[in-house]
Amino acid sequence: MNRIQITCVSLLLSSAILFGAVAHAEETLRPEVSKPMLAAQELIKSQKYREALAKIKDAENVAGRTAYESFIIERMRATAAAGAGDTELAAKSFETIINTGKLPAAEQLQMIEALASNYYSAKNYTLTNHWIRKYLKEGGSNSKMRTLLAQSLYLSGDYATASKEITAINADAEHAGSIPDENMLQLQASCQNKAKDYAGYLTTQERLIKHYPKMEYWAEMISRVQSKPGFSDRLLLDIYRLRYAIGNLVEANAYQEYAQLALQDGFPAEAKKIVNEGFDKKLLGSGTNASRHNRLRDLANRQAGEDLAALNKKARASDAKTQVNDGYDFVTHGETEKGISLMEKAIAKGGLKRPDDANLHLGMAYLQADNKAKAAQVLKTALNSANGVGDIAKLWMLQGGLE
């Protein structure tokens, strides 16, 4: 049985209603009604719902039914119809029962819950929403009904309202010291995407990454950042750095392009590390591009060997941009403290054409030095930058678990 059927059966059988547990003393079933009803009850216990409906029909055909007998018949029919999968008949019976006003308050809420679930199964989302709202208004406290309301609103196409409901659900979870449910965040992201609320969508994706750092969420966010209007190609190397940090570098072409970009931008030690790892993982060095991979490795190894000596010989009177790049180059060689010091001095000089780029790389350097407090402080200064810098800074904060 599904959850709806179980709810209905428990509402009926546990209350012993055939024996007047919810009735006044004078309300009983006549023998000609109770006999087929008791038979229906046993058939329901055996999950023979269609046979039970036939017995209930026999009871309904008894002449001169009292209001109480009609009430009991509808309760039994609601259970049997739900079990048989006849959602239309079950819903009709549920509504009839609720409208009698004969149920105690607690049972009334349970019956409304069952009715809303029944309409949801029947894909009648308008009535699902109506009955769930009634359930909540009358004091129903089953949190699953709020989730069902959000899902029903989504399926009915009311994405904006669904998103608001999910926002409230997530806020309550956080207020209680829990993290939002992953499915709820996924549903909210879908609502926002369909409603073209792209800012909200990205915020929800960030929350998914924060609480459930799955590769699919990272890949979606990185793809979104790269496809945003105005994204600058100069940040492709930074995209590869981020992908590497989260473990999203899994293809030969990705390793090859990352290494080539690192060489092109003047970071041969970084290129050496990446290309050699690609060989270690058997992603590079074979197939039709094997010779190209070998040349790339030779070039990276040679330039990396020459680069550190050249860095140490350079005069520090060069412009600030060069010093920022040299500082990060030191970081890629493993001389993190020296690199960070040089970058900080260069940024302090001022006059940089792209200061947010410099702060992005300084923040990344602090992350590599495991100084999260400084990394967060610096990366925050770049969050409002355009052309993708701010987006990448935000993703590095997520990757580093920074607030």
pLDDT given for residue 88 in this prediction: 86
Mind listing the pLDDT tens digit for each residue in 317-341? 578 888 999 999 999 999 999 999 9
DSSP string spanning 3-70? HHHHHHHHHHHTTTGGGTTTS-TT----HHHHHHHHHHHHHHHTT-HHHHHHHHHHHHTSTT--HHHH
Q: How many domains does the chain have?
A: 2
pLDDT given for residue 145 in this prediction: 96
* 120 phi, psi to nearest 5 deg: -65, -45
Instruction: Please report, rounded to a whole number, the percentage of residues in the chain having pLDDT higher than 90.
Output: 77
Same domain, 121 and 239: no
pLDDT given for residue 215 in this prediction: 95
Identify whether 195 is part of a domain. no
Identify whether 384 is part of a domain. yes
Identify whether 303 is part of a domain. yes
Task: Using the 3D structure, point to which of 125, 148, 177 is the last residue of a domain.
Answer: 125
Distance in angstroms (rounded) separating the CA atoms of residues 250 and 13: 57
CATH number of the domain encompassing residue 346: 1.25.40
Average pLDDT, whole number, for the chain?
90
Mind listing the pLDDT tens digit for each residue in 345-372? 999 988 899 999 999 999 999 999 999 9
Identify whether 281 is part of a domain. yes
Sign of CA dihedral 302, 308, 311, 313: negative
Same domain, 252 and 390: yes
Identify whether 153 is part of a domain. no
Identify whether 81 is part of a domain. yes
Hey, how many other C-beta atoms are within 10 angstroms of the C-beta on 127?
Answer: 17
What confidence category does residue 316 fall into, taking pLDDT thresholds of 50, 70 and 90?
low
Entry pTM: 0.78
pLDDT at residue 52 greater than cutoff 60: yes
Task: Using the 3D structure, point to which of 86, 110, 125 is the last residue of a domain.
Answer: 125
pLDDT given for residue 19 in this prediction: 39
Same domain, 395 and 256: yes
pLDDT given for residue 317 in this prediction: 55
Instruction: Provide the domain limits for residue 310.
Output: 233-399
Burial class from Cβ neighbours inside 10 Å (0-12, 13-18, 19+) for residue 93 reads buried
Identify whether 293 is part of a domain. yes
Tokens for 66, please give them. Answer: 């009292």
Tokens for 84, please give them. Answer: 């048989």
pLDDT given for residue 20 in this prediction: 41
Mind listing the pLDDT tens digit for each residue in 271-297? 999 999 999 999 999 999 999 999 999
pLDDT given for residue 121 in this prediction: 87
> Using an 8 Å Cβ cutoff, are 288 and 327 in contact?
no
pLDDT at residue 254 greater than cutoff 50: yes
Mind listing the pLDDT tens digit for each residue in 219-244? 999 998 999 899 999 999 999 999 99
pLDDT at residue 263 greater than cutoff 50: yes
C-alpha distances in Å from residue 227, one per residue of 238, 382, 390, 401:
15, 19, 14, 24
Sign of CA dihedral 196, 198, 200, 202: positive
pLDDT given for residue 2 in this prediction: 45
Task: Using the 3D structure, point to which of 125, 141, 161 is the last residue of a domain.
Answer: 125
pLDDT given for residue 124 in this prediction: 94
Same domain, 269 and 392: yes
Rg of the chain taking only CA atoms, in angstroms:
33
Identify whether 18 is part of a domain. yes
Residues 6+ apart with CB under 8 A from 279: 285, 293, 297
Same domain, 363 and 247: yes
